Structure 1
Amino acid sequence: MAKKKTIYHLTKGLRDRVDAFIMRQSLLPDQAVFDPAIMPWVGMLERHWGEIRDEALRVGVNDIPSLGDISPDHGRIAADRRWRSFFLEGYGYKRQENRARVPLTAALIDRIPDLCTASFSVLEAGCHIPRHRGMTKGMLTYHLALRVPDDRKNCWIQIEEGTHMHVCPWTDGHSLLFDDTYNHEVWNNTGQDRYVLLIQVRRPCRWPARLLMNLFFTGVRYSRFVQDIRRNLDCGS
């Protein structure tokens, strides 16, 4: 039986052309890891990280579905069902029932301009996310560490940039901002779960690229990739 192609494979040629245009119009350099302070809203989240953490922990890991169960397009990288995602918003769709459980977090992410997605991402003890890359240069990925295992050196993300490897353990209350189109891999080789607030925002660009990104993200909004997640979340709610 032929392997079912995901949105990543089906849109590769289009994404490569879109990415090349975006980077010609980008206000940021083409690099893997950024100083989170370039985003003016980061300080707001860091000031409230303890309250965001408390809301995430009150949800409870058993009420957070495995990403692989709700997103077929994540396929291989979400085969380890110990990677869990509590979605708050994605491509213009808000999960109102989830937001109602974390009202402060919901109010804070509503203040972030150019938001694409927002979720609590949980790596249970022993979880590994294999090497992969994201969908488009049009987004940057942000992590606010909420609960990091005590053995933090054994819970990290590795991001490739040419021959250089950025090895980034998380620290409670601290931020990480990166371009996920660079290959990256994640490990939690500890006996505790790791929680982060995971945000994706549009890359700052000049207006021609912003217009193109509007079209691209509208296409993603109505794609099978997003609609499958919505349908599976609805079935599980």
Structure 2
Amino acid sequence: MAKKKTIYHLTKGLRDRVDAFIMRFSLLPDQALFDPYIMQWVRDLERNWERIRDEALCMATTDIPSLGEISPDHGRIAADRRWRSFFLEGYGYKRQENRARVPTTAALIDRIPNLCTASFSVLEPGCHIPRHRGMTKGMLTYHLALQVPADRENCWIQFEEGDRLHVCPWTAGRSILFDDTYNHEVWNNTTDTRYVLLIQIRRPCRWPARLLMDVFFQGVRYSRFVQDIRKNLDRRGV
């Protein structure tokens, strides 16, 4: 039986052309990692990181589904069911029942301009997310570390940028901002669970790239990729 193609494969040719156009008008350089403080809202999140952490940790891990269960398009990278995601918002759809459980976090992410997605990302002990790259340069990805294993050097994300390899362990209360179209890989080789607030925002760009991104993200909003996640979350009641 033929392997089911994901949105990543089905849109590859289109995405390459869209990415090239976006980068012509990007206000940021083409690089893997950025100073997170170029985004004004980052310090607001960091000032409140303990309150965000407390809300995240109030939920039992069993209340947070594995990403592979709710997002078929994540395919092989979410095969390890120890990677869990608690969705708060995605492509204009708000999970109101989830947001009601974390009101401080919900209020803070509502202040973030050009938000694409927001979730708590949970990496259980021993979990490994294999090497992969994201869907589009039209987004940047942000992590606010909430709970980090005591052996933090053995829980990290790494990025490939040409001949350089960036290895980034998380630090509680601190931020990482990156372009996830660079190949990256994640490990939790500890006996503790890692929690981060994961946010994706639109890349700052000049017009007309902003117009193209409006069209592209509207397409993603109504794609099977997003609609399958919504249906699976509704079915599970999370």
TM over 0.5: yes
- CA root-mean-square deviation: 0.3
* Whole-angstrom distance in 1 between the partners of 2:68 and 2:41: 30
In the TM superposition, residue 232 of structure 1 has moved relative to its aligned partner by 0.2
1:120 aligns with 2:120: yes
* 1:126-137 equivalent positions in 2, closer than 5 A: 126-137=126-137
Q: Which runs of 5 or more residues in structure 2 are unaligned?
A: none
Aligned to 1:229: 229
* Whole-angstrom distance in 2 between the partners of 1:202 and 1:166: 23
In the TM superposition, residue 127 of structure 1 has moved relative to its aligned partner by 0.2
State the secondary structure of the residue aligned to 2:205: coil
Aligned to 1:48: 48
Q: Which runs of 5 or more residues in structure 1 are unaligned?
A: none
1:4 aligns with 2:8: no
State the secondary structure of the residue aligned to 1:73: helix
Moved over 2 A (4+): none
In the TM superposition, residue 94 of structure 1 has moved relative to its aligned partner by 0.2
State the secondary structure of the residue aligned to 1:107: helix
* 1:55-134 equivalent positions in 2, closer than 5 A: 55-134=55-134
* TM-score, scaled relative to structure 2: 0.99
* 1:194-213 equivalent positions in 2, closer than 5 A: 194-213=194-213
State the secondary structure of the residue aligned to 1:85: strand
Aligned to 1:33: 33
* Whole-angstrom distance in 2 between the partners of 1:60 and 1:149: 17
State the secondary structure of the residue aligned to 1:210: helix
The residue type equivalent to 2:193 in the other structure is D
* Whole-angstrom distance in 2 between the partners of 1:24 and 1:166: 25
State the secondary structure of the residue aligned to 2:137: coil
Aligned to 1:214: 214
Deviation by residue 1:30-79 (Cα, 9 ceiling, x = unmatched): 00000000000000000000000000000121100000000000000000
State the secondary structure of the residue aligned to 2:89: strand
* Whole-angstrom distance in 2 between the partners of 1:148 and 1:128: 15
Percent identity reads 84
In the TM superposition, residue 184 of structure 1 has moved relative to its aligned partner by 0.1
* Whole-angstrom distance in 2 between the partners of 1:135 and 1:106: 25
Deviation by residue 1:170-228 (Cα, 9 ceiling, x = unmatched): 00000000000000000000000000000000000002000000000000000000000
Deviation by residue 1:128-184 (Cα, 9 ceiling, x = unmatched): 000000000000000000000000000000100001000000000000000000000
The residue type equivalent to 2:171 in the other structure is T
State the secondary structure of the residue aligned to 1:51: helix
Number of equivalent positions: 237
In the TM superposition, residue 101 of structure 1 has moved relative to its aligned partner by 0.1
* TM-score, scaled relative to structure 1: 1.00
